[in-house]
Amino acid sequence: MSNNITVDEEIFGCMNLDNPKSFFLFAGAGSGKTRSLVEVLKKFRKGNIDQLRRNAQKVAIITYTNVACDEIKRRLEFDSAFQVSTIHSFAWGLIKPYTNDIKEWLREGLKLEVKELIEKQDKAKSTSTKTYADRASKIDSKTKRIKSLDSIRKFTYNPNGDNTGTSCLNHSEVINIAGEFINNQSLLQSVLVRKYPILLIDESQDTKKELVDAFFEVQKNKSGCFTLGMFGDSMQRIYTDGKIDLDQNIPDTWAKPAKTINYRCPKRITALINKIRSSVDGQEQIPNKDYEGNVRLFVVDARNQIDKNDIESEISNHMAELSGDNNWNSSQADVKVLTLEHHMAARRGGFSAFFAPLYAESKLKTGLLDGTLQGVSLFANQILPLIKARQSRDDFAVARIARKYSPLLRKEALQSSSNSIQKISETRKAVDSLFSLWSNNSNPSLNHILREVYRSGLFQVPEALIPIAKRLSDNTDMTVKESQEESTDRDSIIDAWDGALECSFNEFKKYVKYINDESQFGTHQGIKGLEFPRVMVVLDDEEAKGFLFSYEKLFGAKAPSETDVKNKRDGKETSIERTRRLFYVTCSRAEKDLAIVAYTKEPEKVNGYAVSEGWFEKDEVITR
């Protein structure tokens, strides 16, 4: 980019409807990316709005969260020329008209899954095991879904909620179908470009890899009439299903502007995050604030028994004295505590029993963290609001939730019944029966709740939970010990749910608070795009119990594992690289002051490494 041209001007130049050019905007932490996006679109609107409207076209903007969507829409004054949506919503808008193609995609996939399940059943040495019963339930469920496909006139999907009816698609299906259709159907590529000559993707480093690859394919085939603009920073990639090293895979023909000013962090914190990423890509930011800011690394010797709550309270007091900011110790709400690993937040937040089994299954992680996981919404969006309404004696809210979600009150159910009053009475009894689980201040487990919902039919049970619900409802005794061969053939996703459903409903409510960012504890995923005046980053490998991240390795207290060495040799991501990224993300949230608390059994090594790398000055490291 020429020194005479600003980043915003370069982006605007790419968005030329007659001479389009695609681009990747490097936008580091706190760089004002959203402001640039909005200002460029406002400028674009002035000269191009008439041409767009004549051609019945729009500019599509994909953002990561509904909150971000609402903010951009507001800043653009809700102009209909700009379609702002999440990736799930945008993907659904593209594939929604292709009902027959979706049917065949589902039919083919479901038949293959049923065939594989039947083959495993035929090889089973016993029909009295949990694995056999669960497979039988899955075969039955998938076979019923195949049979229902012919009667579906159109599919439905809610990007922000529950998708449990026979005509509904779930979140992962929408993404997978969209990726495959866009990649392989030239007609859909033409439709996309005809409707959206400009497609801008925020947080592109965390956009599903399948869709990024599909959009790259469209750009390659339609470069003469299509601008693909990607905003992001690979150092801030936090989900495992994003495209690794996205910025290094950008075609040479694209423009590559960069926003290098950090408007969020003060001078000292900007210098720290520049150091953290210096060995990765050398990208540096320039602080915009005059405020110096305070950074301290508290290295806590964890070789002896310690009270972490007391230690962190003392550290808050220290930061209050250092900064002259009494909000460090006035209340929990004034300090954002960020952990590097979710297990820590789960333990501290009191929802480990639900979280840990599901988080251990790689296929469930992303949905668990963003709340879209099949099964979570049944408890979070239907049962939890229903019980709250019933406990508050809000009969209107109870009726509204039942009408919205219960199959007992669906239009077809009422039409097929000779007595609709009886159906309403049946629904009321189902609500009463479910609520009885909370009688005498009881705290039921999730599997007790699931069994009751399945028995009464009050809510639709998601496909992933049907085998468990059926087993619980039948009260089946799986007493035959599985052979080694059958044990290794078990469904790991069902096993994960089996473990999670043993937790209490009160513990599940704490998980819901966490994913809704209503707790004091946050992680790299939970605080994407957010900023806080006072940040405390807690590093504790032992408490985190994770294998994907290791701050001890990052700080030189522990040698890289054999897996890390092999992955580095093979060009794959190591736990050190993952940890460095997430450490960067958490530290870069601080607007004023930052305290890093490192629990370690190697305090001397951590201290020495932190100083030798130039991350901290000697007087900024405090060993406790």
Instruction: Please report which confidence band the pLDDT of residue 483 belongs to, taking 50, 70 and 90 as the band edges.
Output: low
The answer, yes or no, to whether residue 529 has pLDDT greater than 80, is no
Higher pLDDT: 477 or 327? It is 327
Measuring CA to CA, which residue among 199, 204, 209 is closest to residue 229? Answer: 199
Check residue 97 and give its pLDDT.
95
Instruction: Tell me, yes or no, whether 452 and 540 share the same domain.
Output: no
Range of lowest pLDDT (57-66, 75-84, 524-533, 573-582): 524-533
Domain that holds residue 304: 268-340+524-623
pLDDT in tens, 368-398: 887 788 889 899 999 999 999 999 999 999 9
pLDDT digits (tens, 9 = 90+) for 552-605: 999 999 998 898 899 888 888 888 998 998 899 999 999 999 999 999 999 999
Q: Given this model, what pLDDT does residue 524 score?
A: 43
Structure tokens at 595: 């305290």
pTM for the full model? 0.81
Confidence of residue 342 (pLDDT cuts 50, 70, 90): confident
In a domain, 162, yes or no: no
The pLDDT-based confidence of 282 (bands split at 50, 70, 90) is confident
- In this structure, the answer to whether residues 310 and 407 fall within a common structural domain is no
198 has pLDDT over 60: yes
| Average pLDDT of the chain to the nearest whole number | 89
Of 259, 283, 316, the domain-final residue: 259
Domain boundary residue, one of 259, 288, 309 = 259
Distance separating the N- and C-terminal Cα atoms of the chain: 48
- Indicate the pLDDT class of residue 238, thresholds 50, 70 and 90: confident
Domain identity same for 120 and 49 = no
| Residue carrying structure tokens 């991350």 | 615
Q: Which amino acid is at 296?
A: R
Please provide residue 281's backbone torsions phi and psi, each rounded to the nearest 5 degrees. -140, 0
**Residue 67 falls inside a structural domain:** yes
Residue 483, domain member (yes or no):
no
pLDDT of residue 2: 39
Are 210 and 292 in the same domain? Answer: no
Per-position DSSP letters for 163-209, written without gaps between them: --STTB--HHHHHHHHHHHHHH-HHHHHHHHHH-SEEEETTGGGSBH
CATH of the domain at 575: 3.40.50
The three-point CA angle 102-104-105 to 5° equals: 60
Whether 562 and 537 share a structural domain: yes
**153 has a pLDDT exceeding 90:** yes
Q: Does 71 lie in the same domain as 42?
A: yes
108 falls within a domain: yes
- The pLDDT tens digits for 457-476 are 999 999 889 999 999 988 75
Here the tokens at position 229 are: 């603009």
**Which pLDDT score, from 0 to 100, does residue 488 have?**
60
- Within this chain, do residues 213 and 281 fall inside the same structural domain, yes or no? no
Question: pLDDT value at position 3?
Answer: 42
Q: Is the dihedral of CA 88, 90, 91, 96 positive or negative?
A: positive
| Domain annotation covers residue 243 | yes
Residue count of the chain: 624
Asked whether residue 102 falls in the same domain as residue 87, the answer is no
Among the listed ranges 24-28, 524-528, 577-581, which one has the minimum average pLDDT value?
524-528
Structure tokens at 399: 């009726």
Structural domain tally of the chain?
A: 4
Looking at residue 366, its pLDDT comes to 79
CATH number at residue 26: 3.40.50.300
pLDDT of 480 strictly over 50: no
Q: What stretch of H or E contains 149? A: none
Residue 11 belongs to some domain of the structure:
yes
Q: Are residues 206 and 297 in the same domain?
A: no
DSSP 8-state secondary structure symbol assigned to residue 341:
S
Q: What is the DSSP letter of 382?
A: I
Q: What's the pLDDT at 525?
A: 47
Pair 88, 104 in one domain: no
> In the 3-class helix/strand/coil scheme, how is 67-104 assigned residue by residue?
HHHHHHHHHCCCCCCEEEEEHHHHHHHHHCCCHHHHHH
Which DSSP helix (H) or strand (E) runs through 325?
Answer: none
The reply to whether 233 falls in a domain is yes
Is 161 a member of any domain? Answer: no
Q: Are residues 531 and 447 in the same domain?
A: no
Mean pLDDT is lowest, of 154-158, 249-253, 257-261, 516-520, for 516-520
pLDDT per residue as tens digits for the range 34-59? 889 999 999 999 999 999 999 999 99
Which residue in 166, 86, 192 sits closest to 461, CA to CA?
166
Say yes or no: 358 and 324 in one domain.
no
What per-residue confidence (pLDDT) applies to 421? 79
Q: Contact, 561 vs 502, CB < 8 A?
A: no
pLDDT band with cut points at 50, 70 and 90 for residue 478: very low
Whole-number pLDDT of residue 419 = 67
Query: Is-contact 617 298, C-beta < 8 A?
Result: no
